[in-house]
Amino acid sequence: MRKQIAAANWKMNLTLKQGEELLDAIMSKPHSLKENQQAVFAVPFPYLAMAQQKLAGKTNVFVAAQNCYSKKSGAYTGEVSVEMLQSLGIQFVVLGHSERREYFTESNQLLADKLNICLGYSITPIFCCGEPLHIREANTQNEYVTRQLEESLYHLTAAQVQKIVIAYEPIWAIGTGKTASSAQAQEMHAYIRQQLAGKYGQAIADSVPILYGGSVKASNAVELFTQPDVDGGLVGGASLIAEEFVAIINALK
Ligand code: PEP
């Protein structure tokens, strides 16, 4: 059965103490994760070890990094390697978030390299894709997302593609309070799955979790997550509020 994931993206928010308190608050509230469901916390680099320690032994709960570098090691001051993440026991990395694409000019090609290195270390990439507003307004979002998939993913083997998670995040819905309607989300998720099926076959396409991101909150999570091709969410703002994120975890179908 395909995995369903509620992934929190803390971005560059919270002090260490606030992060500890948030994880404690979330874990102290009743949350139900079935066998195929996971909660993932993408915390800032300096909090990875703290989060790993706090969540150790919790079933189906994982820590993610928000980025990594594309090289194995070396003279890359300020960067963090996948080997370092692996040495902390980190199992997920968010790649290609639209904020990284925009502010740090991450290209589809660079993301292809980052995907390769993550897969080489058995770390699961949560690969983000999605269109800006002007592309949606021109109704060319399918072509735009196809290009992101082609240029970053399509060199991967079928076995590798089965190890990734995709997050569709329409940029116009990130941090704006505007959510794609559940129909818009389902339409794009089904389209992405159809593209994967065309390239890798239906069975592989059916095994890849596709998360929706863009102003997911407790009040819209059930409707989004009950769409057949929406396998959970990548959540920014609402993941910083314990009650909200617990409700989002519990909204996984
Ligand atoms: C995100 O950070 O990936 C995101 C979708 O943010 P928000 O939920 O705040 O829109």
Per-residue pLDDT of 56-82, as tens digits, reads 999 999 999 999 999 999 999 999 999
CA-nearest residue for atom 4, ligand 1, is: 236
**85 near 120, Cβ under 8 Å?**
no
Q: What is the mean pLDDT of residues 47-59?
A: 97
Whether 169 sits among the annotated catalytic residues: the reply is yes
In short, whether 178's Cβ falls inside 6 Å of ligand 1 is: no
At the fourth CATH level, which superfamily is domain 4-250? Answer: Aldolase class I (3.20.20.70)
Give strand pairing partners of 211: 167
Whole-number Å distance between alpha carbons of 172 and 178: 7
Q: Which of 99, 169, 189, 244 is catalytic?
A: 169
Whether 137 sits among the annotated catalytic residues: the reply is no
How does residue 176 score in pLDDT terms, banded at 50, 70 and 90? confident
Cβ neighbours of residue 87 under 8 Å, at least 6 residues apart?
Answer: none
Cβ neighbours of residue 117 under 8 Å, at least 6 residues apart?
Answer: 68, 69, 70, 71, 72, 82
Note the pTM of the prediction, 2 decimals.
Answer: 0.97
In short, whether 240's Cβ falls inside 6 Å of ligand 1 is: no
Query: 233 alpha carbon to ligand 1 midpoint, in Å?
Result: 9
Q: Please, where are the H alpha helices in 153-201?
A: 158-161, 182-200
